[in-house]
A and B are shown apart, each in its own frame.
Chain A
Amino acid sequence: MTPPIANQIRRLRFEHGEMTQSDLAERIGMTRQTIAAIEAGKYSPSLEAAFRISRVFEVGVEDVFQWAG
């Protein structure tokens, strides 16, 4: 079941110099496959990972993830 959480990671990556999934994964200590799963909405990250991602893009968590239920 797909979690009802939308995310803007793909857009944010491209707005930050076309950052690759691998680059983002390396910066937050995850695998590229996990970033791909989060981006595709197949996996909801922990609160810690969500904060790590938002800090990479220098935005708030709510600018990266939105409840879409």
Chain B
Amino acid sequence: MSFREKSAWITLVTVLVCFGAYYGAVLSGAVSRGFATVHLLAICVAALVGLQIVLHAVAARLSPREAQAPRDEREALIQARSHTVGYYVLMVMVLLLALPVHFGHPPGDLLNFALLDVVVATLAVSGAQIVMFRRGL
């Protein structure tokens, strides 16, 4: 597995874990609305950044030459195509934001829906990269 594919897996798993925990806590009502949600979000984002740094450092240590080398043409193409996938997913998700607005959700909930759009788009980018690395272009 190339360093770039490992990086895609790291992003996919860490985003799933950190934002899965965040949305799990929010949906279960384990945190009260308002500042408690913002604090939990800050913790989840910090955990995400920390996990990504540590896991990428481990991956880079396992294959230092690949980690330092620039993307080759196939990796650059995979990156470009996966971001195109992510763009369309984000567009659809942003348009779907009209639904919670229509049903009169409070602003705090709308922020969570907007954040979910970014999370899903990030997962779509990483997922698309993994599929393209695995199955070819």
- A: residues with CB less than 8 A from B are 2, 29-34, 37, 40, 42-43, 45-46, 49
Contacts and interface: CB of A to CB of B under 8 A. Distances in A.
The B interface is mostly helix, strand or loop, or mixed, namely helix
Contacts, number: 37
Given A33-B2, A33-B5, A42 B73 contact: no
Contact of B2 (A2, A31, A42): A31
Q: Contact size class for B?
A: 10 to 19
B75 A34 contact: yes
Given A33-B1, A34-B74, A40-B136, 11 more contacts: A29-B72, A30-B73, A32-B2, A33-B5, A33-B74, A34-B73, A37-B74, A42-B137, A43-B74, A43-B136, A43-B137
A37 B136 contact: yes
A11 B133 CA distance: 24
Nearest to A2: B136
Interface of B: 1-2, 4-5, 66, 69, 72-75, 133, 135-137
A33 B136 contact: no
Given A37-B136, A43-B136, A31 B66 contact: yes
B135 A42 contact: yes
Contacts of B73: 30, 34, 45-46, 49
